[in-house]
Structure 1
Amino acid sequence: MSIDLDKPRYDQSTYMGRAIHFLQLTNPMNALASDKELDEAKRVVTEFRKTRRMPPGYDEEKLWKTKYLYDSAFHPDTGEKMLLIGRMASQAPMNTIITGGMITFYKTTAATVFWQWVNQTFNAVVNYTNRSGDTPMSSSQLFASYCAACGGALGTALYLNSKVKKMKNPMYARFVPFAAVCGANFINIPMMRSSEILNGTPVFTADGQRVGESKTAAMRGISLVCISRVIMALPGMTLTPLITAYATRRGLFCHYPMAVIPFQLFLVGLCVTFATPLCCAIFPQRAAIDVESLEPELKVNMF
């Protein structure tokens, strides 16, 4: 049997291959799977890895579907079943609710504080759930990152809200939540991965030989993660306010003002369902780096 479940099914050297991979991994339907279904998926994947024999009633397509279900719920390092809201499959439904709340209830200070706090609390849960098994985050590191992200998001949002109130165009106020999320990402992600910044991230040769840890590679990788997170939030938090403002000017919500809430939730849900996997696929999970940009001690080990 030529199927290798230890590697992604699709070519990760191409954007299309990575996009299809993440579309299946972040499929919101995976979040609806019962514990019984998840345990069965784990049993099938574990048994196939040991025996290399196709389970009864399975073909290649069903086996890969089961593998993606397994990957969506179990931690890749520890093998433990992850918290439901922290799984990648829960990103779209959870971010739909949270993003919808941030861009709908942005006019009062209380609403701004509440929704930014909810967003950063959810991010902390996701980061904790998907923590590395090799270099797990300490409770103090997680708490410090959470506090810094909350402070950054709230500080940015409240400061910008005070500024946009003086502007004639009310449209600017609709983009404050996006600016706050961007600011929080550039605080939260480096803090959550501070051990990599201080100690470096593993670097390998083309044939898979580990040559050491590089701080340069860590900084580059973390920068790419920050960028992808911002791009991920961009469609739902910018297109939705623009479309909603246009629909409001056209009188779409004159008779039913509360209809703006499900309208925005639908737009946000549509955006995040596709933006999450498509933005995860922008950069390869394992990126190449020029040897000349590495630390001197690593250059020696590369040859």
Structure 2
Amino acid sequence: NYRGSFLGRLRHFVDIIDPSTLFVSEKQLKDSIKLLDDYRHGTLPSGVSDHQLWEAQKIKQAIIHPDTGEKIFMPFRMSGYVPFGTPIVKSNIPFCHKLKNRFCQIKCYWCWLNQSHNACVNYANRNATKVGIFRSRTQLYCIFNRISVGLNVLIQKANKLSPATRMIIQRLVPFPAVASANICNVGLMRHNELSEGIDVLDNNGNVVGSSKVAARHAIMETAFTRVVLPMPIFVLPPIIMSYLERLRFLQSNRRLLLPIHSIVCLVTFGLSLPVAISLFPQMSQIEVSRLEPEIAMATDCKVVTYNKGL
């Protein structure tokens, strides 16, 4: 069971975020779903190998939402998070202290784009056992982005600060700012789960009830992964590039710095994503004694399961 250990979950999610699943055809997806259904009902054709079954499960889990059974839009799948998000993440890495102020103003746009992409990913991979109100999410998203962009403008226009203080802020603020924004992003895009609860399942996969306590745990765990995710992205590329920039080869070929920096960001993002989302199982478990009394009365199970989301 891949949920049993961090390493097991890591191996599982490395498969799930494999960008090659973005190129799976509609026919391949339908064949994979049918193969898994045949296996579940004991009607699997002869000659089907374990490798084919695992590959079918990988394709389905990478593309299909576990609650709705519908396809997740390609850029918002976890397998699309790195290839679609890396250009945005790279543009958010704080190198503004090396540029002129007018170029730093572009950061506001990239901040908005980054949080917009994150909001779509959070919504697409949420717990979808309850139907949310899209209009309220849209309104909260607009308010959140105004606040996020406003903070960036405020930092850029803090002319009264000394150059040394401004440089310290530009170097130190980005990570806590992005981490805080990510936490708010998860909370805002999934806030209805806190008021409506999410479905919890017994050992047989039957819905026992809707729990607000489980919803709170799901959102907190997901938000924590969004704090861990940007850590390596903001730390490793600057360290690696500070070393590479001193190499004689790159000093004489300055045009290679941008593509090399992009590759470093891509690799770092690709490594940090599976580590972050592997911290907690997607199908998490919680003791019934910690949930609402009505749920404890509705089942004899001591532990129930819920979809945390990704």
Q: In which range does the TM-score fall when normalised by the shorter chain? A: 0.7 to 0.9
List gaps (5 residues or longer) in structure 2. Answer: 301-310
Question: 2:16·2:58 contact (CA, 8 Å) conserved in 1?
Answer: yes
Task: Say which of 124, 128, 135 aligns to 2:130.
Answer: 135
- Tell me the CA shift for residue 51 of structure 1: 4.3
State the match for 1:76 in structure 2: 66
Q: TM-score if structure 1 supplies the norm length? A: 0.81
Indicate how the Cα distance of structure 1 residues 288 and 103 shifts in structure 2: closer, same or farther if over 3 A, else same: same
List gaps (5 residues or longer) in structure 1. Answer: 1-9
Q: Distance in 1 between matches of 2:27 and 2:255?
A: 40
State the match for 1:66 in structure 2: 56
State the match for 1:3 in structure 2: none
State the match for 2:195 in structure 1: 198
Task: Say which of 6, 9, 18 aligns to 1:27.
Answer: 18
Question: 2:29·2:60 contact (CA, 8 Å) conserved in 1?
Answer: yes
Deviations 1:221-273 (A, max 9, x none): 21121111110121112211232234335666433334332222212211221
Q: Distance in 2 between matches of 1:21 and 1:233?
A: 21
Does residue 115 of the first structure (1) align with residue 116 of the second (2)?
no
Deviations 1:116-164 (A, max 9, x none): 1221222233234335442233221331242244234323433444568
- Tell me the CA shift for residue 39 of structure 1: 3.5
Deviates more, 1:172-181 or 1:61-70: 172-181
Q: Distance in 2 between matches of 1:12 and 1:172?
A: 40
Deviations 1:167-213 (A, max 9, x none): 26847524544333212212111112212211333445677675543
Indicate how the Cα distance of structure 1 residues 256 and 104 shifts in structure 2: closer, same or farther if over 3 A, else same: farther
Q: Distance in 1 between matches of 2:280 and 2:151?
A: 28
Question: 1:148·1:188 contact (CA, 8 Å) conserved in 2?
Answer: no
State the match for 2:176 in structure 1: 179
Indicate how the Cα distance of structure 1 residues 189 and 255 shifts in structure 2: closer, same or farther if over 3 A, else same: same
Does residue 221 of the first structure (1) align with residue 210 of the second (2)?
no
Question: 1:152·1:180 contact (CA, 8 Å) conserved in 2?
Answer: no
Please give the secondary structure, in 1, of the residue aligned with 2:230: helix
Task: Say which of 231, 234, 237 aligns to 2:234.
Answer: 237
State the match for 1:99 in structure 2: 89
- Tell me the CA shift for residue 292 of structure 1: 5.9
Question: 1:197·1:218 contact (CA, 8 Å) conserved in 2?
Answer: yes
Q: Distance in 2 between matches of 1:35 and 1:44?
A: 14
Task: Say which of 79, 82, 99 aligns to 1:89.
Answer: 79
% of aligned pairs identical? 27
Question: 2:119·2:186 contact (CA, 8 Å) conserved in 1?
Answer: no
Does residue 153 of the first structure (1) align with residue 148 of the second (2)?
yes
Task: Give the residue type in structure 1 aligned to 2:25.
Answer: S
Indicate how the Cα distance of structure 1 residues 208 and 232 shifts in structure 2: closer, same or farther if over 3 A, else same: same
Deviates more, 1:137-146 or 1:186-195: 137-146
Please give the secondary structure, in 1, of the residue aligned with 2:132: coil
- Tell me the CA shift for residue 65 of structure 1: 1.0
Alignment coverage as a number of residue pairs: 293
Task: Give the residue type in structure 2 aligned to 1:66.
Answer: A
Question: 1:23·1:274 contact (CA, 8 Å) conserved in 2?
Answer: no
- Tell me the CA shift for residue 36 of structure 1: 3.7
Please give the secondary structure, in 2, of the residue aligned with 1:64: helix
Question: 1:204·1:210 contact (CA, 8 Å) conserved in 2?
Answer: yes
- Tell me the CA shift for residue 89 of structure 1: 0.9
- Tell me the CA shift for residue 55 of structure 1: 5.8
Indicate how the Cα distance of structure 1 residues 93 and 254 shifts in structure 2: closer, same or farther if over 3 A, else same: same
Task: Give the residue type in structure 2 aligned to 1:70.
Answer: K
